Every structure is written in structure tokens, then in C-alpha cells.
Amino acid sequence: MASDLKYQRILLKLSGEALGPKGFGIDAETVRRIASEVKRIHSLGVEIAIVVGGGNMWRGADAAATGIDRATADYVGMLATVMNSLVMQDAMEKLDMVTRVQTAIEMPPVAEPFIRRRAVRHLERGRVVILAAGSGNPFFTTDTAAALRAVELNAQVLLKATKVDGVYDDDPMRNRSARKFDELSYMQALTMGLKVMDSTALSLCKDNRLPIIVFNLHQPGALEAIIRGEKCGTLVTSDVEEPV
């Protein structure tokens, strides 16, 4: 493994919305482009685990608001993440990456069950591990699942891919004066209510001192730049005394 890389084992969190045009469905070209970005760092020897959301097909919280039982809605959302994971697997294997999909809900004909030691072994052998079905529990987001899996697999960083190049104090798509943060502490992100990850995920990262980098995956080369230690996106890390 290349010694000049800052991170040698990562967990990449992809939102389901990133896979489809206008945040809905699956766009094959977008999936291929994301797979190509992953290929760039995989070829450097980086060990990669991926958690994919399912919001391009189904959002449990939104569905529950229509009257569907929340637990049922969340289980349907977990199945959506499995579909997205299989699509990502296909795109990556077409680029000659060896992958494994592991699911938190067992479905042997489709994928392996999530077994931590097996997932670690896959990573050590250079396989990309795609982790589907969230944590397997309703009422928990895929952000929380990403934080949990990152800690379980001893990832050095959790990379959250978004549609913007970091964390802002307002929506930069609507407010051109929105301020971008280059670095934040976990507590600052929590107390300021910034949309980094949900509070459960943030707290889990804080308790385990797992750094989070929020970045724009659609920016070519951004993922590789982060792996090489270049400043990109917003770093959320240990608490600091200086006000942001």
C-alpha cells in the first residue's frame, strides 16, 4: 500500500440521491462516473468500504408521514439501499474492481450477510465492500449505519459525498452568501444544527474520534485529493477551543 497516502482504509457514504437525475431513480452514466472516481483511489491501494443510501427510491421518514407504519417504511428503505448497492457493484466490477455486497438483512441469493471479520478480510484482500440495508434496524438512518460500520471496520475516516463542496451555514444553492466551513468540531456541528450528519451519527463519530470529511463527489479528482491529504471539503474532527 502506498505510504504517501494519508488514508489507507476509508468508508465512503453515498446518498441514494447521488445516483439519479434530480435525486430520483438511477442514472447509469452517473453511477459509472462515481465508480470511476472510486477506481482511481482503489488503484492506489486504498481499502474501501461503501455505504449507499436509498433516498432516490424511498425515504422511510417521508413515507411514514403519509401514514405508513414507520418501521415498515424503514424496512422498505433498507431494500432500496440493496438495489442501489447491486447497481454500484455492477458498475465497479465492469471497471475490474473485485467487490462484495454485504447486507444487514440476510438475503443469501443476493449478497453476503454482514460479518465484521469477513468484511475486514475482504478489505485486506483489496476487495471493495459495499454495505447495504443500513444497520438492519428501523429508526436509524444510513448516516448512522455509515458511522457504525466505519467504527466497526476501523476505517481511518468517514467520507460523506454530497452535492456541494462542504458544510455551509445555509443552503449554498439558495443563498450565495452562505459561509463554508473548512473545519468544524463535532460539538460545533451538533450545537449549530449544521447538516453534516444526523445527531446519532455525529455522536458516534465523536465518541470514537472518527474524522468526517464532507465533500462533493461530482468534483473530478476530489476523492483522490482527500486520500492524498489535500484540503478538500469540510473536515469534522475533535473538539477545538477556537470559535468557528
Q: What pLDDT is attached to residue 240?
A: 52
CATH superfamily of 9-237: Acetylglutamate kinase-like (3.40.1160.10)
Pull the grid cell for residue 137.
Answer: 434496524
Q: What pLDDT is attached to residue 215?
A: 95
Q: Please enumerate, by residue number, every residue annotated as part of a binding site for ATP.
A: 13-16, 55, 59, 162, 168, 171
Element (H, E) at 90: helix 70-93
Determine how β-strand 9-14 pairs with β-strand 183-185: unpaired
Burial class (CB in 10 A: 0-12, 13-18, 19+), 92: buried
3-state secondary structure of 80: helix
The mean per-residue pLDDT over the stretch 20-43 comes to: 91
Q: Please enumerate, by residue number, every residue annotated as part of a binding site for UMP.
A: 54, 74, 135-142
Residue with cell 462484495: 100
Best CA proximity match to 154, nearest among 121, 190, 196: 121
Pull the grid cell for residue 211.
Answer: 474524522
Q: What pLDDT is attached to residue 194?
A: 83
- pLDDT of residue 3 exceeding 70, the answer is no
The mean per-residue pLDDT over the stretch 59-88 comes to: 91
The mean per-residue pLDDT over the stretch 95-115 comes to: 97
The mean per-residue pLDDT over the stretch 177-200 comes to: 88
- The pLDDT-based confidence of 37 (bands split at 50, 70, 90) is very high
Share of the chain above pLDDT 70, in %: 96
Q: Please enumerate, by residue number, every residue annotated as part of a binding site.
A: 13-16, 54-55, 59, 74, 135-142, 162, 168, 171
pLDDT, tens only, 150-163: 999 999 999 999 88
Neighbours of 21 (CB within 10 A): 12
Q: What pLDDT is attached to residue 2?
A: 57
- pLDDT of residue 239 exceeding 80, the answer is no
Q: Is the pTM of this model over 0.85?
A: yes
Do the Cβ atoms of 227 and 41 come closer than 8 Å?
yes
One-letter identity of residue 30? T
Do the Cβ atoms of 22 and 55 come closer than 8 Å?
no
- The pLDDT-based confidence of 74 (bands split at 50, 70, 90) is very high
- pLDDT of residue 241 exceeding 90, the answer is no
Pull the grid cell for residue 71.
Answer: 418501521
Q: What pLDDT is attached to residue 109?
A: 94
